[in-house]
A and B are shown apart, each in its own frame.
Chain A
């Protein structure tokens, strides 16, 4: 059934006036899995939520595809699409990179936020898109998350965030670092008001994003195989002068080390999120 929703929604983009992300959809009839190297029909891959049917490798997907995967069809209403990045440090080439990524990813920033329903229950949802500046967090990402959390607080509905980010956006310097504080403080207030916070870490969730809102859910979930960690593998290897195991900083590693509540397969994502939301609406159902 979930499969149907996904394939049916594939080309419909609810109320979002944006085009589907180009880089997510593999071109050509066949697609090769980067993990097991087996080739499969692209169409089949799309019907399988962009998960390899041989080895379960989860292909990265953009924000729009993600929204279609978890929300009821046509329920999404985008918030704050009018926010755009500035170039506060006058970084050479930053503006051009932003423009290029807008075309490449089909989104206008590294995050899309809005309201929508999951099995008819209203939620506020934020989805990061690693095709845009590697999902890095600058002022706009921080501001959109803050406003989305405040919206969830106002509507008294759950806040769900899918993370996919290399961390803070270097081109915005310490302003981007401060977005960690801004988003975390906003979550604290929402939490103190009794708000439900669900985070789903997807590949990759590292640095300043991992060390702020991504880790602050009442429930912290992840997709299989996602890279999750604070410091980069290369820096750690240089620091401790030893080679790290292959599974270091994977979702499975984080689960084993007590950092995650569960790893959820993409095909089960909507169902599981729906269940969590349902379990928190007991007595509060309209």
Chain B
């Protein structure tokens, strides 16, 4: 059973009404077919109207939907022989990040991603997909391995952020994230990152420096959560909807700012409506990207990544001032 979202309510209500009318037709001897037909047409229009005009806050809801497919869901559909690998070899194994080796179209790849839980029990085990330093260090270990054995790295981004905890600070959360950004700049293999849910700040970016970065249509990527932004800007976390609109966090916004290479369309109503179909859409984008990047040499891959990030930013440059 798919949990409904607030903006979907008119659709759900109309569906219910059509269902009721159909029930009545079955039981009583009345012909409501023209009425039903009319309502079904209206439903179609309504679906198009709502799903094609999703507002930033609607997308935040979809991105956070409890049934939204996670990294492991996509791994199931996209790869064969996924072999999960554990631990950072320093402190422990952080289950908020999963990673391992697998086959993609017969070719070995390294896959890494944030991993949320789908129920309370799993969420506790996975710390709600919010990594500690050991999660980032495990990811780095696996990426170095990929670099050594010359296989592409595919990262799925889906986290509210790096975990803001005492132990995380003690073990160097900052350094762990920083180190990943630094090292990801130097790998000689293709890196493809796909934001599948929430891209929350530095905790998302910590596995997010790639030759290509894509976002699912209803995913978000932000420097601070809409709630966090609202409480700073208007001292009121309930203004999150307003913050979501002004912070430019949707896939379209990021595409326009030149931060991501592409938007991956979602099945109607969001990825959770059909994981299999959604995986096929991701598959076609991923395959194309890997083929394109396979034409680049090791040096060119580093160069392309460098240039991509070097260009990001909006500023004004006056004529250089005379220096005495």
Contact = CB atoms under 8 A, between A and B. Distances in A.
Interface of A: 15, 17, 77-78, 81-86, 88-89, 91, 139-140, 142-143, 146, 168, 170, 172-182, 184-189, 191-192, 207-208, 210-216, 228-232, 235-236, 239-240, 242, 244, 248-249, 257-259
Contacts of B106: none
A186 B175 CA distance: 17
Contact residues of A: prevailing secondary structure: helix
Contacts of B317: 82-84
B176 to A, nearest CB: 8
Contact of A82 (B174, B254, B314, B319): B319
B175 A82 contact: no
Nearest to B318: A82
B293 to A, nearest CB: 17
Given A185-B184, A212-B177, A215-B178, 8 more contacts: A78-B323, A82-B320, A168-B201, A172-B314, A176-B223, A186-B310, A208-B223, A211-B178
B175 A259 contact: yes
B302 to A, nearest CB: 8
Contacts of B169: 229-231, 236, 248-249
Contact of B177 (A86, A168, A174, A230): A230
A176 B315 CA distance: 11
Contact of B259 (A175, A185, A231, A240): A175
Contacts of A249: 169
Interface string B286-324: 000000000000000010011001101111111111011
Contacts of A168: 201-202, 223-224
Contacts of B124: none
Interface residues of B, number: 60
A75 to B, nearest CB: 13
Nearest to B162: A230
B170 A257 contact: yes
Contacts of A176: 223
Contacts of B192: none
B59 to A, nearest CB: 14
Nearest to B221: A174
B168 A86 contact: no
A170 B223 contact: yes
Contact of B185 (A184, A207, A235, A242): A184
Most buried by B among A185, A208, A215: A185
Interface in B216-254: 221-224, 229, 232-233, 246-249, 253-254
B164 A230 contact: yes
A189 B303 CA distance: 10
Nearest to B181: A184
B76 interface: no
A82 B318 CA distance: 5
B111 interface: no
B109 interface: no
A160 B183 CA distance: 20
Contacts of B171: 257
A84 B320 CA distance: 11
Nearest to B233: A170
Contacts of B247: 89, 173-174
B70 interface: no
A172 B177 CA distance: 21
Nearest to B167: A240
Contact of B312 (A77, A84, A179): A179
Given A82-B317, A180-B205, A211-B173, A173 B222 contact: yes
B205 A177 contact: yes
A189 B317 CA distance: 25
Contacts of A215: 172, 174-175, 178-179
Nearest to B133: A230
A81 B222 contact: no
A235 B315 CA distance: 31
Interface string B185-199: 110000000000000
B166 interface: yes
A140 B253 CA distance: 20
A88 B309 contact: no
A253 to B, nearest CB: 8
A215 B183 CA distance: 13
Contact of A208 (B201, B221, B319): B201
B182 interface: yes
B164 A187 contact: no
Nearest to A184: B181
Contacts of A231: 162, 164-165, 168-169, 173
B97 interface: no
Contacts of B315: 83-86, 139-140, 143
Contact of A211 (B166, B202, B222, B309): B202
B166 A240 contact: yes
Contacts of A185: 181-182, 184-185, 209, 305-306, 309-310
Contacts of A170: 223-224, 229, 232-233
